Amino acid sequence: MIVAKLIDTTLCIGCKACEVACQEWNDQEYTMGTFDGSYQTKPELEANFWNLIKFNEVEKDGATSWLMSKYQCMHCADAGCLAACPAPGAIVPLANGTIDFVHENCIGCGYCITGCPFDVPRLNSTTKKAYKCTLCSDRTAVGLEPACIKTCPTNCLTFGERDELLRMAETRTVELKADGFADAGIYNPQGVGGTNVLYVLKHASEPEQYGLPKDPVIPWTVSLWKGPIKWMGMLMFWGTIFGAFFHFVIYGPQDPEKHGHPRDAEEEPSEKP
Amino acid sequence: MTNGWTDVANADVVLVMGGNPAENHPVGFRFVLEAKRLRKAKIICIDPRFTRTAAVSDLYVPIRSGTDIAFLGGLIHYAISNNKYQRKYVELNTNASFLIAEGFGFSEGHFSGWKDGKYDKATWQYELDAQGYAKVDPTLEHPRCVFQLMKTHYSRYTPEVVANICGCTSEEFVKAAAMITIAAAEDKSGTVLYALGWTHHSFAVQLIHAAAMVQLLMGNIGMPGGGVNAQRGHANIQGSTDMGAWNTLPGYLKIPRANHENLADYLAANTPKALRPNSLNYLGNTPKFMTSLLKAYYGSHATKANDFGYGWLPKVEEGADHSWGTFFDQMHAGKMEGLISFGMNPVANGPNTPKMIRALSKLKWLIVAENFETETAAFWRAKELADKEYPQSLKADDIQTEVFLLPAACFAEKDGAFVNSSRWLQWKEAAVDPPGDARRDQDIISDLFHAVHDLYVKEGGARPEPLLKMQWDYAKPQRPQLGEVAREVNGIDLETGKQLNGFGELKDDGSTACGNWIYSGSWTEAGNQMSRRGQADPTGLGLYPQWAWSWPANRRILYNRASTDSAGKPWDETRAPLRWNGKRWIGDTPDYKSDAAPETMAPFIMLPEGVARLFAPELVEGPFPEHYEPAESPVDNALHPTVNANPLLRTYNSDMDHFGTAKDFPFVAITYRLTEHFHYWTKHTSSSSELQSNFFVEIPEELAKEKGIANKTLVRVSSARGKIEGPALVTKRLRTLKVSGKKVYQIGLPIHWGFVGKVHGPLINNLTPSAYDPNCGTPEYKGFLVNVEKIG
C-alpha cells in the first residue's frame, strides 16, 4: 500500500504547528534565525529544519491574498535524489512509497540535492550527511501518522492510502469549483511520476504562487547519470575507493618518518627529543 | 463566549472582527473552517491588517484601528433601513418596545444630561408605570420606544459615513453588510468572534455592546452558531475573571462600597428588582449568593448576628477606582509600599512602559512569583530607566525597591481547573513535579497567609479580623489541596455536610456555603464534574454536555430560551438546542425555569427587564454606542468634530502621561500577537523562539516607498511616550486607507519581545498611551499615533 500526505492549502492558516511537531519528533537542534523580511520561519529548508510553511503575498485582480503552503520532501514516485545517489543503501524507497535517507550509508556527496527538482535535501556541514523529511518512517512503521499530520489543528493535513487521498482531493476540488474557484485542482506533478505529497490548490494552474515548481522534472544531467553514465561513473567511483583500499591492504599506511609530514611531527613532540 | 468553540461549527455566517483566531486561537479555528466546509458558512474578516484569518476568509474589509463602532453602527442602520433584521425575535427578546423618559436624546457628540464633564442619567431611564414596571409599546412605533430611538441614533451611520470614518470603500461596507445580514433569516445564524482587537480601545465596552445589538437584531443570541463570543487569551483568563477582581467578588457579585455599611445596605443596592411583571429576575437571588459566599470565607465565624462577617470585607470608597491605570498612577506618585505580582509582567504588558518602570522604582518591595525571571523582576536593569528623555533619570544603584523573585510552578506542574473561552471548567492533573526550588502558587499563598496571620496573633494590629476569622479548615492547613478548594467553591450544605448540586440550592440564612455561585454544580456528591470526559452529543449540535462542566449549571449556550419562538418552537428545527414538549424544556440545560410554559415568563431570566438590552443605561458614556475617536487620532471625529474622543476617556496627569498629535506622529499604530508566540512567555522556550526569533515593524508598501524604506531596513518608531527600533517588514497586507479625504497609513507592531529570554527585542509598550476605557479600565493598546523614520 502506498501512503501519502494530502495538504489542503485552502485550510492552512500558517500556524506552524507542523513545523514544531517536526522539530520535536525528530529531536532537531533549534536555531534562532535572523530576520528575513517575512513571516516565514526560515528562507528555505535546512539540514535541521525539514518542514517549512511558505508564506506568499500575492496580488491578483487588485485583491491581496496570502497563500500559505507546507513545504517538505515530496516522496516522488520517480525520485530524483534516488536516481542521483551513488552510495548504495543511502537512499531507500520503502514499500509504502516513502523515500527514506539512511545516514550511515550516506557519503555526503550532495548529488541528491542536484537530483531533487524540489530543492529539498540539505547537507549538514558538521556530520557531512544529507537530511530531509522521512515521512516519519519511524512512526509509520508502527502504524502512527507522521508528526505534522498528528498536530495539525485545522484538518488541513491528512495521511492515508494514496488512492483514497487522491479521491478526497478530487472531491475537494469539485467543492471548490462549485464555490467559484474555477482554477482549483490537485498538485501531483507527473514529471516525477507523481508525488506522495499531494496538494489541493485554489490556483492550480499557478503552483509557483505557493512556492511549488510548476513542472518539476529530474534534471537531464541526473537522467543521463541514471542511464549508461551512472554505471560508468559507479565503476570509476567505486574503482577508486576499492583501489585505495587494496593499496592500503597490500602496501600498508604511509610512513610519516619517510615522508616527514610536518603536522605529524608536531603531534608527537615528546617522542622527538 | 455566550456559546462555545465547538458550537461555532453551527454558524452560517462567521464575523471575525476585533480578533484574529487563525493566529491566536488556531485550535479553536478548526470549528470556523468546519462551518465553512460543511455548512458553506461565509467568513467575513474586518481588520486593520490582512491577517492569517483574512487569508482563509470569504471577504476581507480593511478598517482603521478604533473605528469598529462606526462599522457596527453602520450595520445597525443597514439592517433597519433595509428591513434585514429578525422582527419577531426583536419584539420578543429585546427591550426595543420599552419607553424611555422624556428628554432623552443625542446631539453634538453628547447624550442628554451632559453637564460639567459628567452625565446626569435622569433622561436615560425607562418610563415606569404605577407598579414600578417599565412601559412598553409592542408595536415599536412610539417615538420614545427604544427601537425608534435606536433607529434615529444610527440614521447618521450611512455606508458613505462609515466608509469615510473607517477608511474602506462604501461598496466594501455594503458587501460585508449584505453577507452579515444573511443571518437575519429565522433559520440562519451568525456568530461574532472577537478578542483584544475590540477590548483594547478606550470605548471597548461600548464596542461589545454594539456587537450585541447587531446580534440581537439578527436574532442570533441564544441560537446555535450564534452569540457574542469573546476568545479568551490565556488558558485560564476566563476563570480569573469569574473568580473576581478589584471591583467584583466571585461570580460577578459587586464589591461592597464604603456607603454600604451593613449587609442589608449592600443587598438593597445590589439586588435588582423586576422591571416587567413576567420577568423572573434571577439575580433577585443575590442575597443567597452573597450570604453563602460570606459563609465560605468566614465559616463558623459568620453568623446572622454579625451580618455573616460582612463588616470584615474590604470596602471601596464611593466613586473610587483601583483598576490597573489608577493603581500604577498611585504607585508612580509614591503612594504604594509594595506589590505582589503573580503571573503578571507589568513592565512588558502595561501601557507606557517608562511609567510602569518608574512606578516600580518607587516601591519599597516587589514580590514576583514566576516560572522565569521576567522584565518586571528585572525592571531595575531596564535600559528605559536611564532614558534621557525623562527628567528624573535613575540609575540602578539609586533604586531602593527590594525585589523578591519566587520561583513558581508552571501550569503543567500543578493540578486544578482551566476555564476556557467556552466557559468549560476542565480539570487537569499535574504532569510533573516543579523543578528545583519552584513551588506551587497555592503553597506560596498559604505560607504568606500563615506568616501574616501569626504576626497578627502575636503582635495584634489594626483590623485583624479579616485574617483571624478566615476559614482555613483544610486537611493540612499549611498545604491546601486544590481539590479541597474546588469543593469549597462548589458549595456545601452546612447542615448535612454534603456537596451542593447547584446554585438553586443556595440559601440566605447561613445554612449553605459557596465560594462562587456560578461554579456551583462543578463538584457535587457525584464527584468532580470538571474531570468528566464523556463525548455523547444528544442534541447533535456538538454541545457535549458530559465533557467537563460548563458554568452556569452546565449550560452550553447562554440565553438558549431565545432559540425558540413565543410558543417554545425552535426558530430552526435543524438546529434546536432547546424545545418545549408541553411539560418541560428538553435539550441543553434551559436558560429558563425548566418547567415554566413558554408564554408565562420573559426569555432573558438573568435581567430585570426579562429581555436583552439594546438600550443599556448602566454604561457610563451612553445607552447607545457612539463612534468616538481613539485618544490619539489622525483625524477629527467626522460625526461631531468638537467631541472627538470618548467624553469620559480615563487618563492621568503624571509627568509621564504624554499625548501626541498627527503633526508629529502622523501614523496609526496597532499592537498584536503572532501565532508563533504566547504573550511574553514563549520567548523563554526554544521551539517558539525559533519560529519567530525577531521583532519587526510591519509597514504598508506605499508608505515604505514614500520613505525609501526597503524590506529589512532598520527603522525607528516613536510616540509621545518613547521609541523603539527594529527591521521593517514591508507588506501589501496593510492597505493605505482614505479617511476624511486624507491618506492614512497603519503601522503593525507585534508585541512578544523584551530584554530577558532566549530572544530579545524592544518592549512595544514603550509607545502605548495611558488612555483607558471608563467602564472597565482597559488600556488603549491599539489605534495610537506614531512616527516612523528610516535609520538603517
pLDDT (tens digit, 9 = 90+) per residue, B522-579? 999 999 999 999 999 999 999 999 999 999 999 999 999 999 999 999 999 999 999 9
Domain for residue B191, yes or no?
A: yes
Residue-wise burial string across B436-455, b where 16 or more C-beta atoms lie within 10 A, e elsewhere: eebbbbbbbebeebeeeeee
- Report the pLDDT value the prediction gives residue A259, as an integer from 0 to 100: 53
Give the CATH number of the domain where residue B784 resides: 2.40.40.20
Under DSSP, is residue B730 helix (H, G, I), strand (E, B) or coil?
Answer: strand
Q: Does B731 touch chain A (CB under 8 A)?
A: yes
Q: Which of A221, A109, A168, A32 is nearest to B694 (CA)?
A: A32
Mean per-residue pLDDT over chain B, rounded: 96
- Report the pLDDT value the prediction gives residue B235, as an integer from 0 to 100: 87
- Report the pLDDT value the prediction gives residue B393, as an integer from 0 to 100: 63
pLDDT (tens digit, 9 = 90+) per residue, B84-108? 999 999 999 999 999 999 999 999 9
Domain for residue B180, yes or no?
A: yes
Contact between B727 and A35 using a beta-carbon 8 Å cutoff: yes
Best of A13, A53, A177 to disrupt the B interface by mutation (most B CBs within 10 Å)? A13
Tell me how far CA of residue B357 lies from CA of B322, B362, B791, in angstroms: 19, 9, 27
Q: Is the pLDDT of residue A226 over 70?
A: no
Under DSSP, is residue B36 helix (H, G, I), strand (E, B) or coil?
Answer: helix
Q: Is the pLDDT of residue A273 over 60?
A: no
- What is the C-alpha separation between B473 and A261, in angstroms, rounded? 83
CA torsion, ordered A30, A34, A35, A40, to nearest 10 deg = -30
- What is the C-alpha separation between B601 and B581, in angstroms, rounded? 16
CB-CB: which of B55, B712, B733 is closest to A68?
Answer: B55
Q: Is the pLDDT of residue A270 over 60?
A: no
- What is the C-alpha separation between B322 and B313, in angstroms, rounded? 16
CB-CB: which of B30, B675, B693 is closest to A155?
Answer: B30
Mean per-residue pLDDT over chain A, rounded: 90
Q: Does B20 touch chain A (CB under 8 A)?
A: no
Mean pLDDT for B358-382 is 95
| Contact assessment for residue B226 and residue B3, using Cβ atoms and an 8 Å cutoff | yes
- What is the C-alpha separation between B324 and B371, in angstroms, rounded? 23
- Report the pLDDT value the prediction gives residue B389, as an integer from 0 to 100: 55
Tell me how far CA of residue B151 lies from CA of A186, B75, B83, B154, B490, in angstroms: 50, 12, 12, 6, 44
CA torsion, ordered B588, B593, B595, B598, to nearest 10 deg = -90
| Contact assessment for residue B779 and residue B200, using Cβ atoms and an 8 Å cutoff | yes
Domain for residue B532, yes or no?
A: no
Q: Which helix (H) or strand (E) holds A108?
A: none
Domain for residue B649, yes or no?
A: no
Mean pLDDT for A92-102 is 96
Residue A59: phi, psi to the nearest 5? -110, 125
- Report the pLDDT value the prediction gives residue B377, as an integer from 0 to 100: 97
* Chain A interface with B: residues with Cβ < 8 Å: 10-17, 19-20, 23-24, 30-39, 41, 57, 59, 64-68, 153-155, 175, 179
Looking at the structure of chain B, the number of domains it has is 3
HEC profile for B161-203?
HHHHHHCCCHHHHHHHHHHHHHHHCCCCCEEEEECHHHHCCCC
- What is the C-alpha separation between B648 and B66, in angstroms, rounded? 16
Pairing of strands B737-739, B742-744: antiparallel
Beta-carbon count within 10 A of B209 CB: 24
- Which residues are registered as beta bridge partners of B254? B248
Domain for residue B600, yes or no?
A: no
Reported confidence tier of residue B395, pLDDT bands at 50, 70, 90: confident
Window B:54-73, CB contacts with A under 8 Å: 54-56
Is the domain of B56 the same as that of B193?
Answer: yes
Q: Is the pLDDT of residue A238 over 80?
A: no
Reported confidence tier of residue A268, pLDDT bands at 50, 70, 90: very low
Is the domain of B204 the same as that of B338?
Answer: no
Give the CATH number of the domain where residue B341 resides: 3.40.50.740
- Which residues are registered as beta bridge partners of B378? none
CA torsion, ordered A41, A45, A46, A52, to nearest 10 deg = 50
- What is the C-alpha separation between B267 and B307, in angstroms, rounded? 12
End-of-domain residue from the set B208, B233, B258: B233
- Give me the DSSP letters along A53-67: EEEEEEEETTEEEEE
End-of-domain residue from the set B181, B198, B233: B233
**Whether the bond into B250 is cis, omega within 30 of 0:** no
Is the domain of B57 the same as that of B204?
Answer: yes
* Domain span holding position B678: 667-790
Burial of B175 (C-beta count, 10 Å sphere; 0-12/13-18/19+)? middle
Contact between B26 and A153 using a beta-carbon 8 Å cutoff: yes
pLDDT (tens digit, 9 = 90+) per residue, A153-212? 999 999 999 999 999 999 999 999 999 999 999 999 999 999 999 999 999 999 999 999
- Report the pLDDT value the prediction gives residue A83, as an integer from 0 to 100: 94
Domain for residue B21, yes or no?
A: yes
Cα first-last separation, chain B: 45
| Per-residue cell: B629 | 475617536
Reported confidence tier of residue A45, pLDDT bands at 50, 70, 90: very high
pLDDT (tens digit, 9 = 90+) per residue, B481-521? 999 999 999 999 999 999 999 999 999 999 999 999 999 99
Reported confidence tier of residue B390, pLDDT bands at 50, 70, 90: low
pLDDT (tens digit, 9 = 90+) per residue, A99-139? 999 999 999 999 999 999 999 999 999 999 999 999 999 99
Q: Does B694 touch chain A (CB under 8 A)?
A: yes
pLDDT (tens digit, 9 = 90+) per residue, B603-616? 999 999 999 999 99
Q: Is the pLDDT of residue A261 over 80?
A: no
Contacts of B501 (CB under 8 A, 6+ apart): B521, B524, B525
| Contact assessment for residue B412 and residue B437, using Cβ atoms and an 8 Å cutoff | no
Tell me how far CA of residue A266 lies from CA of A253, A255, A270, B251, B457, in angstroms: 19, 15, 9, 79, 78
φ/ψ region of B10 (left if φ > 0, alpha if ψ in -120 to 50, else beta) reads alpha
Contacts of B647 (CB under 8 A, 6+ apart): B109, B110, B114, B117, B621, B628
- Report the pLDDT value the prediction gives residue A52, as an integer from 0 to 100: 98
- Report the pLDDT value the prediction gives residue A227, as an integer from 0 to 100: 65
- Please tell me what DSSP assigns to residue B135: P
Reported confidence tier of residue A255, pLDDT bands at 50, 70, 90: low
Cα first-last separation, chain A: 69
Beta-carbon count within 10 A of B125 CB: 13
Tell me how far CA of residue B125 lies from CA of B69, B146, B205, B282, in angstroms: 23, 11, 19, 21
C-alpha B217: how far from chain center:
22
- Report the pLDDT value the prediction gives residue A253, as an integer from 0 to 100: 72
- Report the pLDDT value the prediction gives residue B391, as an integer from 0 to 100: 53
CA torsion, ordered A191, A197, A202, A204, to nearest 10 deg = 0
Tell me how far CA of residue A62 lies from CA of A65, A151, B63, in angstroms: 10, 35, 17
Q: Does B248 touch chain A (CB under 8 A)?
A: no
Reported ipTM: 0.94
- What percent of chain A has a predicted confidence (pLDDT) above 70? 89
- Report the pLDDT value the prediction gives residue A269, as an integer from 0 to 100: 43
The correct CATH number of A3-77+135-218 out of 3.40.50.2300, 3.30.70.20, 3.40.109.10, 3.90.550.10 is 3.30.70.20
CA distance B674 to chain A (A): 9
Domain for residue B404, yes or no?
A: yes
- What is the C-alpha separation between B1 and A219, in angstroms, rounded? 55
pLDDT (tens digit, 9 = 90+) per residue, B681-707? 999 999 999 999 999 999 999 999 999
Q: Is the pLDDT of residue A47 over 50?
A: yes
Domain for residue B382, yes or no?
A: yes
Contacts of B630 (CB under 8 A, 6+ apart): B65, B66, B201, B202, B645, B771, B780, B782, B783, B784
Domain ranges for chain A, please list them. 3-77+135-218, 227-271
- Report the pLDDT value the prediction gives residue A224, as an integer from 0 to 100: 76
| Per-residue cell: B621 | 458614556
